[in-house]
Amino acid sequence: MHHITKIEHPNLSHVVDFGHVGDHVYFISEYFEGKTLANFRFSKARINLIYDIVVQICYALHALHNQNILHKDLKLENVLYRMEGSQILINLIDYGFSKVDPSRDSQHVSGTLPYIAPELLMGQQPTPRSDFYSLGVLLYRLCTGSFPFSVDQLNALITGGYQYFIPNFPSTLNKNIPPELERFILRLLERNPENRFQSGQEIIGYINRIHHDEFPFSASWSIVNTMRFNSYIVREK
């Protein structure tokens, strides 16, 4: 796991050390002062912030995927945010313990059940597209307050109901979600990984087109000094 200490990125809490205590793994990472996205409240006036959140998450995922690392537990509780005036700053935590290993037992599935991509529940190997599916669930929940699938639907999937795995439209739960954002969420949630976005940069390009924005394709290191405080926190994985 030494690879995780080498990754430095403005949207990732830098892991400086890690270790084992019995069967438990702990790691020491830079402290980011903020709340989890579970505390973020969606409104029509915050659409711009929603896209900014997604773009910054994609910056972080791109940095991980470039090192052949998957997050594999992307969820609201693992994304921190802080407001700096009108700007939102995003920081991903609890990453780096999921280096891609094709030889690993495919029956071992990491993550939090509602966020896990359907192909993983069917025994397939994880890929970056699995992280993008989790991003879709995160965004769905961020905008609606609900998960795209019920417990019964997830159980049906696990027992062989893959062909029936169709999410409810987000706008049925929140009428303030614009059509282009809804289409974006549903594409992230495509049951076939090949139909999802293939990279974080593709997602950013898509957002720039539908939102008529000009998000850069990589994070600016100019925000590092405002995001980091040179203090650390110990987490258990």
Which domains does the chain show, CATH number per domain? 35-224 (1.10.510.10)
| Tens digits of residue pLDDT in 71-99 | 999 999 999 999 999 999 999 988 755 54
| Tens digits of residue pLDDT in 107-121 | 556 788 899 998 998
**Whole-number pLDDT of residue 108:** 59
**Whole-number pLDDT of residue 7:** 77
**Whole-number pLDDT of residue 102:** 44
What is the maximal distance between C-alpha atoms in the chain?
A: 52
**Whole-number pLDDT of residue 31:** 73
**Whole-number pLDDT of residue 105:** 46
Q: pTM for this one? A: 0.86
**Whole-number pLDDT of residue 136:** 98
Q: Which residues are catalytic?
A: 73
Mean pLDDT per 10-residue section of the chain, whose length is 237 residues? 71 74 72 90 92 96 92 95 93 69 53 90 92 98 93 75 74 95 97 95 95 83 50 52
Give Cα 175 distance to the centre of its chain.
24
**Whole-number pLDDT of residue 5:** 66
Question: Tokens 């940069």 identify what position?
Answer: 201
Find out whether 237 and 25 touch, Cβ atoms under 8 Å: yes
Please give the Cα distance from 42 to 161 (Å, whole number): 32
Residue 55 tokens read as 């773009």
**Whole-number pLDDT of residue 236:** 54
Single-letter amino acid, residue 220: S
Least Cα distance to 110 among 164, 69, 168 occurs for: 69
